[in-house]
Amino acid sequence: TQDSSEEEAPTFCSVEEYCLLAGGDSTEVEAEEARQQREEAERQDRERQEREEAERQAKGRQEREAAERRERERQGLLSSASGDSVTPPPPSGADGPVAKQGERLNLRNFQIVDSFSGEETPTVNVAEWMSKLEEMFNLLHIKPEQKLAYLKINLKGAAYSMVQNNVRVHDPVEAFTKARTLLLERYGEDWLSVYSKLQKRRLEAGETADPSRSDRYPHVRPNVARFAGRAGAHGRSRNLAGRNRD
C-alpha cells in the first residue's frame, strides 16, 4: 500500500477533455479550435504582408541607390571632361541632340549611345551596341582607364546591375575588358550563330565587297576576340574575317 502522503502524479488532458470536465460541451471545443485556427491564419497573413512590404521597400531602395550612383558617376565624369560646371543636356531632335546656336556638342551635352539594359523590345544586338560604343570612345579620345565609367553611364536596368555586381577588378582597363566580356556572354550570340550568319552573307551579282564587309563588321570585331580562347579559334577567326574568296 502506497503512503497516503505521497503526491499523485499530474494528469494531462486535452483541451476537449478539459472543457468536458469543466462542464462544457463539444460545440464550445470546436468553437475554440476554430478561433485559434483563425487567429493563426491571420497572424501568418500579417507576417506574409510584412515580408512582402519589406522586400518592396528594399528593392525600391536598391533601385534608387543605383540610379543615384550612376548619376554621381556621370556628373563626375562630365565635370572632369569639361573642366567647368555641368549644364543640362540640350533638347534632342530626330537625328540626335541639338546644340544651341554657337555651342559645340561635347561630353557635357550629349549621350554617347542609347542606353542598353538587355530588356529592350525589339531586342538590341549587344555586339553591335558594343562596337558602336567603342567607335565613339575612339572618336572622342576616351582614355582606356575611363572606359568602364562611361560604359556604366550608358547601361541601365539588368545589364547595369550585372556589371556593377560582378566586376570586382581594381585595374580600370582590365575591369572594362571584364565588363565587356560579361555583356557579350550574357546577352550575345554563341559562336555557331555568328558563324552561320557570316556564312550566309555572300556577294550578290554586281555587288562590291564593301557592303558585304560592312554587314559582317559588327559581328566580326567583338566576337573574334571573344571566341579566341576556344578550340579551333584560329580557323574560326579566319572564317569570321571574311568569306569573299568564293
List all residues 6 or more positions away from 108 whose beta carbon is below 8 Å from its beta carbon.
78, 81, 82, 86, 87
More confident residue, 162 or 214: 162
- The separation between CA 171 and the C-alpha centre of its own chain, rounded to angstroms, equals 22
Q: What is the pLDDT of residues 28-56, one digit of tens each?
A: 777 888 888 889 999 999 999 999 999 98
Q: What is the mean pLDDT of residues 142-147?
A: 89
More confident residue, 100 or 227: 227
List all residues 6 or more positions away from 240 whose beta carbon is below 8 Å from its beta carbon.
194, 195, 198, 216, 219, 220, 223, 224
131, 224 contact by CB (below 8 A) = no
Report which residue type is found at 216: R
**C-alpha to C-alpha distance for 129 and 117, rounded to whole angstroms:** 11
Q: What is the pLDDT of residues 151-196, one digit of tens each?
A: 888 888 899 999 999 999 889 999 999 999 999 888 887 767 766 7
Query: What is the DSSP secondary-structure string of 163-191?
Result: HHHH---SSHHHHHHHHHHHHHHHHS--H
Q: CA 80, 179, 168: angle at the middle one, nearest 5?
A: 85
As a whole number, the mean pLDDT across the chain is: 71
Q: What is the mean pLDDT of residues 135-162?
A: 89
pLDDT for the residue numbered 11: 58
134 Rama sector, left if φ>0, alpha if ψ -120 to 50, beta otherwise: alpha
pLDDT for the residue numbered 239: 55
Residue 95: Cβ within 10 Å count:
6
For residues 29-45, b (16+ Cβ closer than 10 Å) or e, as one string?
A: beeeeeeeeeeeeeeee
Q: CA 73, 76, 81: angle at the middle one, nearest 5?
A: 120
The half-sphere exposure of 19 on its side-chain side, counting CA atoms within 13 A, is 13
**C-alpha to C-alpha distance for 85 and 147, rounded to whole angstroms:** 21
pLDDT for the residue numbered 62: 86
Q: What are phi and psi of 155, to 5 degrees?
A: -110, 160
| Residue whose C-alpha is closest to residue 88's, from 97, 96, 80 | 97
* SS3 category, 59: helix
- Percent of the chain having pLDDT more than 70? 52
- pTM check: above 0.85: no
List all residues 6 or more positions away from 89 whose beta carbon is below 8 Å from its beta carbon.
97, 109, 110, 111
Task: Please check the confidence at residue 76 and state whether its pLDDT lies above 50.
Answer: yes
